[in-house]
Structure 1
Amino acid sequence: MKNAFFVTASIACGKSSFIKIANSMGFKSISADKIAHQILDSFSKELIEIFSPFNTDKLNLINDHKIDRKNLGKIIFSNPQAKKILEDFTHPKIRIKILEQMQILEQENKPFFIEIPLFFESGAYKNLGKVILIYTSKELSLKRLMQRDNLNKEEALKRINALMDIEKKVSLADFVITNESSYEIFQKKSIKFIEKLSKETNEIL
């Protein structure tokens, strides 16, 4: 789709910040994470049964009638088999919802953004649009993740190492925006990039 731009990265690199900036400029977006959260909550009872054999620490997977994503994360990031089971269960459902929303936004003939953390890992959206990578070094994303989610180093590394290496993603992306200093600098970079992107897309149209 000519108006579709996928936004991806590693963890704690600034994907959500980029999307918020784009939204504040009047551009629409789709969030794979939000869709995933809705699916997790919709299938909460089924997921508890699926992951009960992996829940050796007897973690509480339900909080206020919704999936406790932090506790589920402890299970899947400690067990590759559990992680694959979750991905096999949720990814096809997420893809259907994303494609439905993409088809609607494509009709507007204006750039829109799809935030997908596992864009390269899943391979499910290849050739559907251009890819924007928000780049932060592994060392800095580790530090940010520990601070943001109150994780120890071991827990944070499990989450980062479960993803494709950020340096490999650089070579696969169509565009790269670095985010290694202040939010203000990243915001200026993002606005400049989006303005240029919008102008070029309008010229093509």
Structure 2
Amino acid sequence: MKKYLVGLTGGIGSGKTTVANGFLTHGITLVDADIVAREVVEPGSPGLEQIRTHFGNSVINGDGTLNRGLLREIVFANPQHREWLNNLLHPMIRTRMLELVEKANSPYVILIAPLLFENGLDRLVNRTLVVDISPEKQIARTMARDKVSETQVNNIIASQMSREDRLAKADDIIDNNGDVAGIEDKVAELHSLYMTLSQSQ
């Protein structure tokens, strides 16, 4: 039977991890696109070797790991390089995520993907859940967490889908402007819904 899949997304600093961990306490398997994206470029992986061949040894650290900062600078400055990298990595990430989904033992699976809509991953899921937060809180949280400037945060926000478009595409929304207890209640409510939906598919 095909797994029932819920795509969890939200802008940077919106609280996706907090919400995802809420589902984890209900015994639900999480598949995180960011973790998979790091996996497919680990030392010795075909992904990393193709990146080395394309960009040269300068993007590989002394310990054999990928120099993410340098690669990010290169691809952000050059749309062709960015397209090449996306064409290489997105299929690898998608394949690996679907393998993990199939191995999951829970009745449904939460797929955590910051760029769920932007990368077309919403086509893989049965339902979408957006974690929403005010832009002011989003900026403040990200600056505190990642120790970055407001300008950097605004650049990241600008590269993501707008809040309005994201909310318009959502099947379900968790408002993260309040306290943690409110999130736990909403997660429990959605967990019941997803259990019902996964059993009736």
TM bin (shorter chain): 0.7 to 0.9
CA distances 1:103-126 after superposition (whole Å, capped 9, x unpaired): 333xx5712111111111111441
CA contact (8 A) 1:61 1:71 kept: no
Give the C-alpha shift of residue 100 in structure 1: 2.0
Taking a change above 3 Å as real, the CA distance of residues 82 and 2 of structure 1, as seen in their structure-2 partners, is same
Taking a change above 3 Å as real, the CA distance of residues 163 and 126 of structure 1, as seen in their structure-2 partners, is same
CA contact (8 A) 1:111 1:201 kept: no
CA contact (8 A) 2:14 2:131 kept: yes
Which consecutive residues of structure 2, in runs of 5 or more, have no partner in the other structure? none
Give the C-alpha shift of residue 127 in structure 1: 5.4
Give the C-alpha shift of residue 202 in structure 1: 6.2
Q: How much identity, in percent, do the aligned residues show?
A: 23
Which consecutive residues of structure 1, in runs of 5 or more, have no partner in the other structure? 53-57
Among candidates 198, 201, 204, match of residue 197 of structure 2:
201
Q: Quote the residue 2:12 is aligned against.
A: 11
RMSD of aligned alpha carbons: 2.7
Q: For 1:14 and 1:87, how far apart are their aligned partners in 2?
A: 25
CA distances 1:166-202 after superposition (whole Å, capped 9, x unpaired): 221101111011112333433333233324433x336
CA contact (8 A) 2:14 2:133 kept: yes
Q: For 2:131 and 2:154, how far apart are their aligned partners in 1?
A: 19
Structure 1 residue 126 corresponds to structure 2 residue 123: yes
Q: For 1:138 and 1:77, how far apart are their aligned partners in 2?
A: 24
Give the C-alpha shift of residue 19 in structure 1: 1.6
Letter in 2 for 1:180: N
Alignment of 1:44-193 (within 5 A): 44-48=48-52, 50-51=54-55, 62=61, 64-77=63-76, 79-105=78-104, 108=105, 110-126=107-123, 128-193=125-190
Indicate the SS of the match to 1:193. Answer: helix
Pairs aligned (count): 196
Taking a change above 3 Å as real, the CA distance of residues 31 and 167 of structure 1, as seen in their structure-2 partners, is same
Q: For 1:131 and 1:36, how far apart are their aligned partners in 2?
A: 20
Q: For 1:9 and 1:40, how far apart are their aligned partners in 2?
A: 24
TM-score using structure 2 length = 0.82
Letter in 2 for 1:16: T
TM-score using structure 1 length = 0.80
Taking a change above 3 Å as real, the CA distance of residues 151 and 82 of structure 1, as seen in their structure-2 partners, is farther
